[in-house]
Amino acid sequence: MKKPSKPVSDTCQHEPRSSSASPEYLPRQLEVAASLCKAMADPSRLRLLIWLSQGEMCVSELVERADAKLGSVSARLQLLFNARLVTRRRETKHVYYALADKHVHDLLSNVLHHAAEVSA
């Protein structure tokens, strides 16, 4: 008969979990993940990401949709670009933005679906 393990603390009554049960993440991975979350932690930036999830758009289109100043939208896009959530390309005088990849699309979709469940 197996002898029960000691509880982790005086108040904790479950068996201790093995340390191999959860993956280990490098400190840099955690920093990058936190910066992604921080970049998405603003309704105006989330709205830009939602629009970009529909396809590539130029800055002037995003400014018009946001009904905001060019400088404000550009600053938000720069932050999203620095966080690697969006890509950009220049074509003559226009700069076009798009979601960086499918991971960003999935992340955005999951966050919004989860928010819908929580607020329901």
Query: Bridge partners of 89?
Result: 96
Rounded to a whole number of angstroms, the CA Rg of the chain reads 21
CB atoms under 10 Å from CB of 80, counted, come to: 26
Res 1: pLDDT: 55
Res 105: pLDDT: 97
Res 20: pLDDT: 59
Res 23: pLDDT: 77
Res 8: pLDDT: 54
Q: Name the residue with tokens 């921080």.
A: 38
| The CA-based dihedral angle spanning residues 61, 63, 76, 111, taken in that order and rounded to the nearest 10 degrees | -60
Res 114: pLDDT: 94
| Per-residue confidence in pLDDT tens, the chain, 120 aa | 555 555 556 677 877 766 555 678 899 999 999 999 999 999 999 999 999 999 999 999 999 999 999 999 999 999 999 999 999 999 999 999 999 999 999 999 999 999 999 766
List, in order of start, the domains of the chain with CATH numbers.
27-119 (1.10.10.10)
